[in-house]
A = this chain, B = another copy of it.
Amino acid sequence: MKIAVDAMGGDFAPKITVLGSMEAIQRYKDIEIVLFGDEEKIKPYLTNNERISIVHTDKYLDMGEKDPVRAVRSGVDYSMLLAMKACKNGECDAMVSAGPTQVVIVGAHLIVKRMKQMQRVALAPIVPSLDGKGKIILDCGANVELKPEHIDQIAFFASVMAKCVFGYENPKVALINIGSEPGKGREVDKETFEVLKNDERLNFVGNIEPKEMFYSDCPIFVNDGFTGNILVKSIEGASKMFGDALKQEIKKSFWAKITYPFYKKSLKKFKKRFDTSEVGGAMVCGVNVPIVKAHGNSDAYAFSNAIKQVRSMVEQDVIKKVMEGFENE
């Protein structure tokens, strides 16, 4: 299995992408990695090139890229776009980038291409839940605004994925909203509710408020990319704040500090459960190749987990299963 890595994407590239790739190579003996990027800049960090090769380009995207469509159409050999082309041509099986989100989305659209059943591509991170299974939230930022029929397609895509890949019998789908009763939300939410309710392919269970999500037995939560993004970033921020506040309280207490060694393991496990770096990144749903968008500020461990995530998408043959799922409905 060959995984294309955009070595120049992310806030700390190429250091982190190279270290993360070497870490992934150690963890998974069945993968090869192709680093796309500036050989001169990559090499100082590449202390072990076992199963790692480099495709050189000295062009790469700025994290603040303002015009993703122009960037993708420019024909310039940016590292991210070369990695995508390698997937398109079948030279690589999957791709990871911590580069600018909107370029990943536009590149996925225009280079890797959408599945014919999907008019929109969606970003889908897995967020933690109390039962440890995680929840799929989409869209989380690929499309700021979405029409009800697009959300419906995305909901169906996620249902097929939850069924074929995660083994859910008849996966429930809920619409993220500000109240649980029908008729809640913006005009677009009310319309989307009706469309989802009337789609017989879906096991639609109605609206759900963000505070109920973590305790719900529903694995799939949908809305537009603005709503999903606000939701996911709120959880992320709250998670970081809780961790920091807990540390503060422990440091303040004499007894808590003294007995910390006995608590360390529990607190570490607790941290691990909600650490976004454990998850890796967000899946790009609706395109023909497994792509994971890692966090721009990933560290090496988080980046290696993004590789882990895309590896398991290839291993489980997600794209083929979803395609078949679409055809069987």
Q: Which residues of A contact B (CB under 8 A)?
A: 64, 66, 128-130, 141, 144-145, 176, 178, 181, 183, 185-187, 189, 209-215, 225-227, 229-231, 233-242, 244-246, 248-250, 252-253, 255-256, 258-259, 262-263, 265-267, 269-270, 273-274
Interface of A is mostly: helix
Q: Which residues of B contact A141 (CB under 8 A)?
A: 178
Q: Which residues of B contact A255 (CB under 8 A)?
A: 262-263, 265
Q: Which residues of B contact A262 (CB under 8 A)?
A: 253, 255-256, 258-259
> Is B241 in contact with A266, judged by CB distance below 8 angstroms?
no
> Is B144 in contact with A178, judged by CB distance below 8 angstroms?
yes
Closest 7 CB pairs of A and B: A211-B237, A234-B234, A255-B262, A210-B234, A238-B238, A178-B229, A259-B259
Q: Which residues of B contact A233 (CB under 8 A)?
A: 178, 209-211
Q: Which residues of B contact A176 (CB under 8 A)?
A: 230
Q: Which residues of B contact A183 (CB under 8 A)?
A: 66
Residue pairs across A and B with Cβ atoms less than 8 A apart, 16 shown, are: A64-B181, A128-B241, A129-B241, A178-B229, A178-B230, A189-B226, A210-B233, A210-B234, A211-B240, A215-B241, A235-B237, A245-B273, A249-B269, A253-B262, A256-B265, A259-B262
Q: Which residues of B contact A244 (CB under 8 A)?
A: 130
> Is B256 in contact with A270, judged by CB distance below 8 angstroms?
no
> Is A214 in contact with B186, judged by CB distance below 8 angstroms?
no
What is the chain B residue whose CB lies nearest that of A263? B256
> Is B212 in contact with A237, judged by CB distance below 8 angstroms?
yes
- A265 interface neighbour in B64, B210, B231, B253, Cβ under 8 Å: B253
